[in-house]
Amino acid sequence: MVQIKKFVFSPFQENTYVLYNEDKEAWIIDPGCFYEEESQALKEFILEEGLTPVKLLNTHCHLDHIFGNNFVHREYGLLPEYHKLDQPMLDMAPSQAKLYGIDGFQDSPNAESFLKEGTTINLGQVGFEVRFVPGHAPGHVAFINHSEQIVIGGDVLFHHSIGRTDLPFGDYDTLIHSIKSQFYTLAPEFTVYSGHGPETTIGEEINNNPFTK
C-alpha cells in the first residue's frame, strides 16, 4: 500500500508528492518548494514520518517542478531522474526563471540516470510503470501503478483541463494523443494526481473534460 502526501508549493501552486510505504521508503516527485518555509515543511514531514527518501523523480523539468531539486539533493543526497528529452527544459530553467522575474532560483543538479518509457520502477514491492506522455513538455513522463490504480501525471491532464502547450517545445496534438493513448486507455477508476489542482479520475475526465471531447 502506497501512501501519498501532497504539498502545494510556490507562486505556481505546484503539487509536490511524497509517496511512501510501510518500510518508510519515500519518493519525492516534482519537488516544487521554492520558499525556505516550503522546503522546511517538506523536511519536517519526512522527519515526522521517519521516512528515508530513496528517489527524486521529475515528471518533467519545467521550472515549477524542479524548484526543490537543489534542496532535495543537498538534504538527502539524491540526484534527479527524468526523461532524457526533458534535459533541454532543465538546461533552460535558469533563463526561464529570469524571464518570469524569479529571484533566487537554485540550479538543479543533472540526472543521475534517465527514465525510460516502458520500464518499471519500484517503491519497495510496488511497481510504477513509466509512460511517455509528451506534448506539454518534450520528455514528459507519468508514473502508473496498476494494482492501486494511481497515476502521477504531472502537467498532462488536470481536473477538467489539460496542460499548456504554448511553452517551448509544447505541442497540442501531441498532448491530446498522449492523453488519449496513454491515460484514457486505463480503467475509469484510476486516480490521477496532477501537477496542479485537485485529484481526478480517468473516468471523470473521459466523460467531462472539455478539451478531450
Binding stretches for Zn ion (CB under 5 A): 62, 64, 155, 195
What type of residue sits at position 58? N
Residue 49 CB, nearest approach to Zn ion (Å): 25
Helix-then-strand count for the chain, H and E = 6, 14
- Quick one: 83 or 126, whose CB is closer to Zn ion? 83
Instruction: For Zn ion, give the closer residue by CB, 51 or 141.
Output: 141
Minimum distance between the CB of residue 186 and Zn ion, rounded to whole angstroms? 21
Nearer to Zn ion, 73 or 140 (CB): 140
Taking CB positions, which residue lies at the least distance from Zn ion?
62
| 3-state SS assignment for residue 16 | strand
CB of 193 to Zn ion, least distance (A): 13
At closest approach, how far in Å is the CB of 50 from Zn ion?
A: 29
Select from 78, 42, 38 the least CA-distant residue to 58. Answer: 78
* Closest C-alpha to 10, from 40, 33, 39, 43: 33
- Do β-strands 161-162 and 157-158 pair in parallel, antiparallel, or remain unpaired? antiparallel
> Measured from the CB atom, is 71 or 158 closer to Zn ion?
158
Rg (CA), the chain: 16
Query: What ranges in the chain are assigned the alpha helix state H?
Result: 36-49, 63-66, 69-76, 87-99, 172-178, 202-208
Contacting residues for 147 by C-beta, under 8 A, at least 6 apart: 126
**Min separation Cβ 68 and Zn ion, Å:** 13
Whichever of 188 and 197 has its CB closer to Zn ion, that residue is 197
